[in-house]
A and B are shown apart, each in its own frame.
Chain A
Amino acid sequence: MTYITKPQLHHPGLARNALGFTRRDYEGSVSTLCAGCGHDSISAAIIQAVYELELPPHRIAKLSGIGCSSKTPDYFLGASHGFNTVHGRMPSVLTGANLANKDLIYLGVSGDGDSASIGLGQFAHAMRRGVNMLYIVENNGVYGLTKGQFSATSDKGSKSKRGVVNHDAGIDLVGMALQLGATFVGRSFSGDKEQLTPLIKAGLMHKGAAFIDCISPCVQFNNHDGSTKSFDYVREHNEAVNRLDVISPRAPIRVDYAPGETVKVAQHDGTVLSLHKLAELYNPNNRAQALGYLQARQARGQVVTGLLYVDPEAGDLHDALDTVATPLNELNEAELTPGAAALAKINAGLR
């Protein structure tokens, strides 16, 4: 046997959310990634986020491209339909899936090679179309699955494990997402569960194109000195703009954050993002300022993390296309097929 499934034995003592699911119910198969891989921490954060949001797992569809990162949807949300598509093309498949059924929650998982190299075009167009989704790039600055080549997000001057220096400028997907019109843009770090989990929660509940660039060190090929995506580098250069909490209308606030300046942002679906500002007067509602802030910090060698931008009033592709409320995949014959009488009229017009 070459596949591994996790035994779904429920520990009687496991806590259950309001839907009666335990955290276990949101898990998937056993990961086959390298021990310590940042991607596994992101999977854990996804599981935690969905559990805390009390979402029924089957109402989520998870899609990915190709890469170590793109394998991970098999390792979380085992009760959700998943689709491991082709390299760099998850955004289009997710767009199509979303068009077919607007009622599911779409989670796209990709890698930096998958999204910033082969799939840069699809990444860009999914953002600008405002596909209602959470799109996470598990960004390790290398091609993990093909064994350590530089990816397009590797910073200029960074060194590969073999000592090769990258001469090309790095692509910052956060900056691109901001420019392309994504309506929720954040960055986090796989090693910072406290920041990442609420960010994922907020992204899942956001209506519109939500993007999280999650730095996720590859312990195999990109966790050495000279790498700008290593655990140590990111810990030292992390500049968090805010910490946030997602308050869904159903549930009372559970977590008590340390006092500090707090801003509440209400989203379309009723969830409230409660932002605990750490950085000096950072305002996440201004796209232009977000870009400026990002670049200013980058110039100082700092990696900005947190929720950089959110438009709480955002719409999505379905709004733009003005589709009916019923998911397109549920329309019945009478709603789809105009019938013989309509056809007779068309024939008459073609004579």
Chain B
Amino acid sequence: MPEQVKPPPVRPRVNDFVVKFANVNGSGSASANGMFARAIIRMGVPVAARNIFPSNIQGLPTWYEVRITEAGHLGRRGGVDLMVAMNPQTWDRDLAEIEAGGFLFYDSTKPMPPSRFRDDITVVGVPLTAMCNERYELPRERQLFKNIVYVGALAALLGIEVGAIQALISEDFAGRPRLIDANFEALKMGHDYVVQNLEPLRLQVRRADKVGDRIYVEGNAAAALGAVYGGATVCAWYPITPSTSLAEAFTGYCQDLRTDPETGQARYAIVQAEDEIASIGIVVGAGWNGARAFTATSGPGVSLMTEFIGLSYFAEIPAVIFDVQRGGPSTGMPTRTQQADLIASAYAGHGDTKHPMLLPADPGECFEMGALAFDLADRLQTTVFVMLDLDIGMNEWLTKPFEWDDARRLDRGKVMTHDELEAGADFGRYLDVDGDGIPYRTYPGVHPTKGAYFTRGTSRNPYARYSEEGGVYVDNMQRLLRKFETAKALMPAPVLHKAKRKTRDGAIYFGSSTGAMLEALEALEGQGRHLDALRVRGFPFADAVFQFIAAHDRVYVVEQNRDAQLRTLIVTEGEVDPGKLTPVLHYDGTPITARFIAGQIGSLMAVGSVIEAAE
């Protein structure tokens, strides 16, 4: 029997709600859920979708959260309006997560007693298993098509155009007409059931025109494409979630875009190395020899690479590391997101070292910074980090289309050529000729008698000859600091978001917190709380970051880690009074939400104004 415990209330909520799918890992739900989100985008309504998945191939619970947001809020809001509860294991907690007045969609093949529900939600049951068992013979078919059946049912319940889903099915299974037909049928089965037996929900999707020319893509794929455009030819990597798909995407893009059309040969070399130490060693070797090279990894990999990263700093060898950050150590939360490798990356190495970092906020910036990183690494002759996280890297995001200016040239930095050497240029590998701390280098094999040098970590003079003299060492370290100063101006500038009213409160944030942050600022403004906000995009920090702090009385630093790592970097590098910077920290492994930020800053500001009033 179809059941609908409560009748839908009258006024629907249009294009502004959160649907969460609770599934079992390995049940084939991912592609059906993805189609659900993409169909809504095809209707011109922005979505923000996030996978929350276990470190497991099959059997553990997994969630997919789709925020439908005509207003274009791409961060997480917090809370769930419709729970698609397909996993009995997590029933209780899934049920508990639904907002009061929200909806529960479940497989009603075995009807549940009312005691298993909540009074303040609407329950929608569709006998998915029964329908699939009746229609399909094979267990695998029953399982897979069940996912499409519920997508069909949800489409009818939420007003999603069936044509949009059909178009996606036809594109995804192009050339396989039998699969297309079968999926169409399953879709119709779910849709028809709802049309015949149930009412549409109070949550509705309506065609709009709010997506524009944006694309929908994962940050890892975008960064990989950035590496292709940035001229990377050597990639060495070791599999680790959540960075693996970056190296895999690079492989795919290279096959398409970097295969010599005449010979069919590769204009790239990709090595799956034996570990992260070898990965970075290969990158450093290739960089030393004049190729653009990178590795993709996560926190545990960065720790293993540390010695080499230090070497690249002292020996001044270009390298690019995409660090797709995740939670905790190896056995911690590998499939959860965090921004917790900032300090480990910024100062990786032994001895005095520091490294430029780029902090992309979405896949669009992953592409841009993915390409830029190679110019910076060559220009600065050092390791450059691109700090993604699982949220950006492994989720598809609506983002501005990728752009490339065909007039753009790769900046290979200061490389002395054969002709310059031949003409008698004075070559000192570690000589600061231009006063910017950046010396000239030569590629091995460049000239029969000139330009060769012996590369070591330190213990050498400006002409790369062995020296253990203290003064020589100090001079070199000072030059490296000058170089880091030069780096400042090359980093992408921070982005200022000015409050509508003049305010002495500020907030600093970066990376994947951006969507939630901007939404939180709106919410706070609605409460009469005004903050200027600055999005940091690179390390070393631009002077504008310190000017921003100086111009405000209190600055909230929003980040996704326990120890306020960005704040520590700001305090250390800018000699900022720590008391001025109030940490706002989210680190449970799920992406930060707008509600969390607004709640935290809201209450901190309330306390602040009470103190002010008292003073």
Contacts and interface: CB of A to CB of B under 8 A. Distances in A.
B215 A86 contact: no
Nearest to B472: A2
Contacts of B228: 337-338
B290 A100 contact: yes
Nearest to A337: B229
A351 B271 CA distance: 31
A96 B273 CA distance: 11
Interface residues of A, number: 64
A337 B274 contact: no
A153 interface: no
Contacts of B214: 351
Contacts, number: 234
B433 to A, nearest CB: 20
B453 interface: yes
A57 to B, nearest CB: 8
Interface stretch (A210-218, A255-263, A327-335): A327-335
Contacts of A3: 461, 465-467
A96 B281 contact: yes
A195 B484 CA distance: 51
Contact of A96 (B287, B448, B457): B287
Nearest to B311: A86
Nearest to A83: B455
B97 interface: no
A129 B272 CA distance: 11
Given A95-B271, A329-B290, A350-B216, A2 B466 contact: yes
A80 to B, nearest CB: 6
Interface in A1-58: 1-3, 5, 29, 56-58
Interface string B407-436: 001100000000000000000000000000
B231 interface: yes
B236 interface: yes
A103 interface: yes
A195 B290 CA distance: 36
Interface residues of B, number: 76
Interface stretch (A240-248, A292-300, A302-310, A316-324): A316-324
A324 B266 contact: yes
A323 B266 contact: yes
Contact of B288 (A80, A97, A335, A338): A97
Nearest to B400: A347
B444 A104 contact: yes
A321 B269 contact: yes
A100 B231 contact: no
Interface string B282-319: 11111111110100000000000001100100010000
Contacts of B410: 333, 336-337
B263 interface: yes
Contacts of A312: none
A2 B468 contact: yes
B541 to A, nearest CB: 30
Contacts of A98: 285
Closest 8 CB pairs of A and B: A96-B285, A92-B281, A100-B291, A81-B444, A96-B282, A93-B285, A329-B290, A100-B289
Interface of B: 41, 213-217, 225, 228-229, 231, 233-234, 236, 257-258, 260, 263-271, 273-275, 277-291, 293, 307-308, 311, 315, 401-406, 409-410, 442-449, 452-457, 461, 465-469
Interface of A: 1-3, 5, 29, 56-59, 61, 63, 73-74, 78-86, 89, 91-101, 103-104, 121-122, 124-125, 129, 317-318, 321-325, 328-329, 331, 333, 335-340, 342-343, 346-347, 350-351
23 contacts: A3-B465, A81-B454, A83-B285, A84-B454, A92-B277, A93-B288, A94-B285, A97-B289, A99-B271, A100-B291, A101-B290, A104-B289, A321-B270, A322-B265, A323-B266, A324-B260, A329-B233, A329-B290, A329-B443, A333-B409, A336-B233, A336-B410, A340-B403
Given A98-B285, A103-B445, 18 more contacts: A58-B444, A79-B452, A81-B442, A82-B452, A83-B455, A86-B311, A89-B308, A95-B281, A95-B282, A96-B286, A97-B285, A99-B293, A100-B285, A101-B290, A328-B286, A336-B233, A343-B403, A351-B216
